[in-house]
Chains A and B, each alone.
Chain A
Amino acid sequence: MIKISIQQEDFDVSSEINSMNSKTIGAIATFSGIVRDSSESSSLISLTLEHYPGMSEAALKKIANAAKREWSLEAVRIIHRVGRLLPEDTIVFVGCASAHRQAAFDGCRFIMDFLKTDAPFWKSEETQEGSFWISEREKDKKASESWLLKNT
């Protein structure tokens, strides 16, 4: 089962984990991405997440499907929040449920690495000095490329 949500509202991580559980599941790995103050010059007031409605859901679904196929995951849950978020808010949640832990861990890492490079979301930081669009990180590109190298 794959379930994707793009939403403004906060959510409850423990009920998301419970919703992935079933008799054949031996492992559920999760990742939560949190708003942090990464601006160097001044402290962060808020982070605004924008997305391309329609394409963002489709992109996340495609990534989740690829992970489910690769590691025979029984359940994949992705929640990506949009709109204005504050420090310590959760931006993104990924959960992978499987019979064994390795598949659940790997699935989670794979989904996050591709979410960073293949899903149309953009962050803008509101700081004391004004608002700025965040630039893409070379490290993120390398992380998703490394999965492609493993498959060749």
Chain B
Amino acid sequence: MKILYFAWVRDNIGYSQEELSCPEHVRTINQLVEYLKLQSEGHARAFNDMNAIRAARNQQFVTHDTKLSDADEVAFFPPVTGG
């Protein structure tokens, strides 16, 4: 699974993307986040408040209970502030 990070989510984690093969029990965005939080202190910090995190699956906004497959591109970022 390809995982991308933007804005302060990336700043906390320290890099902008990673490629992970997740264990079988990781089937939703929420489960992926729980798994990622174990990867480093930076991950844990980035995902500390999930109300401040938005997610995209294959470049579409999705809710945190969305199901994932290994071929997905998943992105995590704060609420958008463009324009």
Contacts and interface: CB of A to CB of B under 8 A. Distances in A.
Interface of A: 33, 49-52, 54-55, 58, 80, 91-92, 112, 115-124, 133-137
B56 A136 contact: no
B13 to A, nearest CB: 14
A105 B78 CA distance: 30
B46 to A, nearest CB: 12
A50 B77 CA distance: 11
Given A120-B6, A133-B7, A133-B8, A54 B81 contact: no
Sorted nearest first, the 9 A-B pairs with minimum C-beta distance are: A121-B82, A136-B79, A55-B59, A122-B7, A134-B81, A116-B83, A133-B8, A115-B83, A123-B81
17 contacts: A52-B6, A52-B77, A54-B59, A55-B59, A80-B82, A80-B83, A120-B75, A121-B82, A121-B83, A122-B78, A122-B80, A122-B81, A123-B82, A133-B7, A133-B8, A134-B81, A136-B79
A92 B11 CA distance: 25
Contact of A124 (B7, B79, B80): B7
B33 interface: no
A94 to B, nearest CB: 9
B15 interface: no
The residue in B56, B61, B75, B81 that gathers the most chain A C-beta atoms within 10 A of its C-beta is B81
B4 interface: yes
A122 B82 CA distance: 5
B81 A135 contact: yes
